[in-house]
Structure 1
Amino acid sequence: MGGPLFLLISYISITLLLYGVATASGEMSAYLPVPGSSVAYYGQRFFSRSLGFTLGWVYWYIFSITVPAEITATYIVINYWSPPLHIAFWLTLIGAVMIALNCFPVKVYGEAEFWFASMKVFGIIGLLILSVVLFFGGGPSHHFLWFSNWSNPGPVKEYIVTGDSGRLVAFVSTTTFSVFAFAFAPELLVVTGGEMESPRRNIPTAIRRYFYRLITFYILGALAVGIIVSSNNPNLLSGGKGAGASPWAIGIREAGIKGLDSVVNVVIVLSAWSAGNSYLYLASRALYSMALAGNAPKIFTRCTKSGVPYYATAASASFSLLAYLNVASTGATVFNWFTNLINTGAYQSWICCCIIYFRYRKASDAQGITDIPFRSRFQPYSSMFSLFGFSLLLLIN
């Protein structure tokens, strides 16, 4: 969409904006690490009950609608092999497995996610190493890639219109689209804060490690993708048949490494499958927690003997039916629809997080509270920067 340079700048920009959100939510979570905590909980406690109520429903809606988005993403990558079976079969299979895993006790879910997470970490590390090898000509053809895909077709592209206006539109579009990869990670750190051991010591460590992961896996990953695959490759997310394959798989195939592209694509498929599984779990638990707090109908508190909230899971899983929009439209088009919806929710969440932090900061300063286990030296200015940046992105999304 925008070329390798705009992709890299977009990932760096979002990472910098997220610094204010993550350190703000981390400070509140470290100061008040209560079980069941969330940004919605802090919104109710530090701002107003109405904001906490609204954020709770926003999170449930966004977590739920991310499930069909991940089903769509999984199918797009599967379409790399141009499977002969009808699209509805694959959508049903992908969604059914996600729902089935969430019907088992949480121990089964946790075990599955452990192996999925391990696979993703080792997978991205391996791909980064492979990118370095290809960069220095270690592929079968011994062709040095260097930054050849930056010079041809160029580091930046035009989008929709031509000239400087086209490059501006390309940068804005790339930035807004890139947010999908980062959505709701800071909020999940808050959720786990109330459950971890010694949260006042471990939450600051988790925040720092989160940014190390962003730099290693996201920013370096964006740089590597721009090196190994050309931005005008027709197999990227273009809406055509067979399009939308993982750029890693495309780059490996272009390098002439036989068979490895399919292996990488399998890893990408399982990663998207895992993400959908996780978001369905988060959506069902968000609805269950709201029902316990009296902010949702009591029927959603009903659980199986193993503790699975089956009505909350069913209500959240019903959003997966939206994945069948792929039957009438291309996967790329449907995925763009979902991405815009999810990004809008992410912007709203991060904006509210900054506003809640300002109220918390003002209250703690007014009361002379000094027992703050974690506070960034750049606060509250980094939150002001994040509030401005995400408000702007929300308007132009």
Structure 2
Amino acid sequence: MATNDEKSLPGYSKSAVAAADMEKTSSNDAFDTGRRKSSVVNAEILTGEIYDHRYESTKRGLKSRHAQMIALGGTIGTGLFVGSGQTLARGGPAFILGSYILMSFLVWCIVSGITEVAAWLPTKGCSMNMFGFRYVSRSLGFAMGWLYWYSLGILVPYEITAAGLVIEYWNTPVNIAVWISIMMVVIVALNALPVRFYGETEFWFASLKVFMMIGLLLMSFILFWGGGPSRDRLGFRFWERPGAANTYLEEGNTGRFLALLSTLVLSAFPFTFAPELLVATGGEMVSPRRNLPTAARRYFYRLVIFYVGCVLAIGILAPSNDPALTDGGAGAGSSAFVVGIKNAGIHGLDSVINAGIIISAWSSGNSFLYLSSRSLYSLACSGNAPRFFKACTKGGVPYRAVACSSLFCLLAYLNVASSGSVVFNWFVNLTNTSGFISWICCAIVSLRFFKACQVQGITTDQLPYHNKWFQPWGSYVAIVAFVFLTLINGFNVFWPQNWSVSSYMSARART
């Protein structure tokens, strides 16, 4: 039922909140005992707004502090801490900084758009595929839902694989399969608990990531001015030698242009599916019409401070031609922060950062499994997946959807048979294009929602959240930009020196 604070917000309407809560039982004769089953199922298939009350539903167990911290650090993981090292080696400090600034702007366009939709109709079990179903078409909701379920499921073994790379940094004698199994059990177990436990664990995980990022940024600032053990002032020396911009595949200006394109594609990965986490948590958040806009506004600071600040820092700490950033190093040596710490002669801190990266991988894997299972659950609720996955525990956990989505975790055992870095790149290629397609669809949903408001005579002042500086034109910009990035993703596999069947299939199968 609607809370008092929701009723006091501008734009409150009984019909909107009734659809958002999905808890109100209809008094219509169509739901009499003898006709209840068929009527509920048919209404659910037609509208996606009526839940089958024979099943338990998800619960609103995420508090305001959970929502704020998940928004700040929920999906900050190894893509930023480890993957940024490879991106720095590919493009150089200038290209990676410019790419992250552009990507932060585009992602903010997506966040500001989808928050308008989710704050207006924060339905239980909501996902962007539910809104695609409602505001665009049944077919788009169907396609988005299965895209999310698969792509977000794939990201769980990606995070486990990345954590395995980090553990190899210590040259442990324990087989990597053991560590994979431990991480897998922890992630699945956390998702099997009621959402309030997920929110609590993510609150502390995200808090740790935020504090670690702030510490790394402060360390970079100190080393910039020569405050390290050797008193060596780094400044912007690595922007001069080996240079601000690298070449890739070709020499000269052509090579620099190709390096820029490749850097743009690689820089998208740490942002992938992060905006969608806001929408998914809105379905299980207390007072979502108040807390969701607050979380979205603070998301801007996450983009500027953590993403842009991070790549500016690693451009100061590590040279882009350091072999430890790529295959020349092992495990977390691929993290530009760890490379910079070792080069500065700070002993012991690299292991502390490694431990933090492992926790980040656990946290991100936990968030991605949560998103994947909720996507499958919302598909079932809208009639686009078997009703088998509607079932929830009394604590609000869609346990069948969680169990099915957890099967993706087994892909992490690929790390046992192949080089961890190779598998790492497979997962990057498989999910990058899915992220681009998702953001294109999110922008389309946002525009159709805006059009629906105009047709219904609902002004932007009535919406719980509206960003007048970025919407609706920001959605148009995002569509153009992400269509371009989708088309160029994986272009490097067509150069003879990079050709392989596995790289081609993983980069192009999703385009």
TM-score, length-normalised on structure 1?
Answer: 0.93
Residue 178 (structure 1) shift: 1.3
Q: Please say which structure displays the higher CA radius of gyration.
A: 2
Q: How much has 1:227 moved relative to structure 2?
A: 0.5
1:340 to 1:118, Cα distance in 2 relative to 1, 3 A: same
In structure 2, the residue matched to 1:391 is 483
Q: Which residue of 2 aligns with 1:182?
A: 271
The change in CA–CA distance for 1:196 and 1:93 in structure 2 (over 3 A counts) is: closer
Task: Tell me if the contact between 1:102 and 1:313 (Cα under 8 Å) persists in the aligned partners.
Answer: yes
2:169 aligned partner, one-letter code: Y
The code of the aligned residue for 2:436 comes to: Y
Following superposition of structure 1 onto structure 2, how do residues 7-22 of structure 1 map, counting pairs within 5 Å? Answer: 7-22=96-111
Aligned to 2:357: 268
Q: What is the match of residue 156 of structure 2?
A: 67
Which position in structure 1 is the counterpart of 2:308? Answer: 219
2:235 to 142, 146, 151: 146
Amino acid at match of 1:41: M
C-alpha separation in 1, matches of 2:331 and 2:281: 39
Quick one: distance in 2 between partners of 1:253 and 1:239? Answer: 15
% identical aligned pairs: 55
Quote the residue 2:141 is aligned against: 52
- Secondary structure of the residue that 1:144 maps to in structure 2? coil
Please, which of 461, 469, 472 is the counterpart of residue 380 of structure 1?
Answer: 472
- Deviating above 6 A after TM superposition, structure 1's stretches of 4 or more consecutive aligned residues are none
Deviations 1:344-395 (Å, cap 9, x if unpaired)? 1111111011112222222322333222342423322211111000000001
* CA distance in structure 2 between the aligned counterparts of 1:52 and 1:285, rounded to whole angstroms: 14
Amino acid at match of 1:354: A
Output the CA distance in 2 between the equivalents of 1:344 and 1:394.
6
Deviation by residue 1:293-327 (Cα, 9 ceiling, x = unmatched) = 33222332344565543332222111112222223
Instruction: Say which SS state the counterpart of residue 248 (structure 2) adopts.
Output: coil
Query: How many Å separate the matches in 1 of 2:395 and 2:229?
Result: 52
Q: Secondary structure at 2:242's aligned position in 1?
A: coil
8 Å CA contact 2:238–2:316 kept in 1: the answer is yes
The verdict on how the C-alpha distance between 1:254 and 1:322 changes in structure 2, with shifts beyond 3 A counting, is: same
Tell me: CA distance 1:189–1:242, structure 2 relative to 1, closer, same or farther (3 Å).
closer
Matched, 1:135 2:224: yes
Amino acid at match of 1:170: A
Change (3 A) 1:324 1:244: farther
Contact 1:234 1:243 (C-alpha < 8 Å) held by counterparts:
no
1:3 equivalent in structure 2: 92
Secondary structure of 2:243's aligned partner: coil
| Counterpart residue type for residue 379 of structure 1 | Q
Equivalence for 1:125: 214
1:310 aligns with 2:402: no
Task: Give the superposed CA RMSD.
Answer: 2.0
Q: Deviations over 1:253-289 (max 9, x none)?
A: 1111110111111101111121112211222232233
Residues 176-231 of structure 1 show CA distances to partners (whole Å, capped at 9, x for unaligned) of: 11111111222222223344455444443322210111100110111001101111
Cα separation, partners in 2 of 1:52 and 1:157, compared to 1, 3 Å: same
Letter in 2 for 1:390: F
- Shift in Å at residue 244 of structure 1? 4.6
The answer on whether the counterparts of 1:235 and 1:242 sit within 8 Å (CA) in structure 2 is no
Q: Where does the alignment leave 5 or more consecutive residues of structure 1 unmatched?
A: none
- Is this contact kept in 2: 1:2–1:173, CA < 8 A? yes
Q: Tell me the amino acid that sits aligned with residue 396 of structure 1.
A: I
Distance 1:375 1:109, change over 3 A: closer
Rounded to whole Å, the distance in 1 between the matches of 2:409 and 2:170 is 23
Mapped to 1, the partners of 2:101 and 2:265 lie a distance apart of 13
- In the alignment, is the contact (CA less than 8 A) between 2:393 and 2:399 conserved in 1? yes
Secondary structure at 2:383's aligned position in 1? coil
User: Which residue in the other structure is 1:295 paired with?
Assistant: 384
CA distance in 1, matches of 2:393, 2:288: 30
In structure 2, the residue matched to 1:109 is 198
Describe the SS at the equivalent of 1:153.
helix
More deviation, 365-374/142-151: 365-374
User: TM-score, normalization: structure 2?
Assistant: 0.73
CA contact (8 A) 1:11 1:178 kept: yes
1:207 to 292, 296, 308: 296
Cα separation, 1, equivalents of 2:181 and 2:188: 10
**Does the Cα contact within 8 Å between 1:34 and 1:194 map onto a contact in 2?**
yes
> Out of 24, 27, 33, which is 2:122 matched to?
33
Count residues with an aligned counterpart: 397
What whole-Å deviation, never above 9, does each CA across 1:12-54 have from its counterpart, x for those lacking one? 0101111221111122223333333322122111111111122
2:118 and 2:282 in contact (8 A); partners too = yes
Gaps spanning 5+ residues in structure 2: where? Answer: 1-89, 490-511
Q: Which structure would you say has the larger RCO, counting Cα contacts within 8 Å and 6 or more residues apart?
A: 1
Closer/same/farther in 2, CA of residues 101 and 34 from structure 1, 3 Å limit: closer
SS, match of residue 122 in structure 1: helix
Post-superposition CA distance 1:127-148 (Å, at most 9, x none): 1111111111110001101011
User: Contact conserved, 2:130 with 2:382, CA < 8 A, in 1?
Assistant: no
Q: 1:369 and 1:281, CA in 2 relative to 1: closer, same or farther beyond 3 A?
A: closer
Shift of 1:104: 3.6
Aligned partner of 2:145: which letter?
G
Deviates more, 1:219-228 or 1:321-330: 321-330
Of 267-276 and 324-333, more deviation after overlay is shown by 324-333
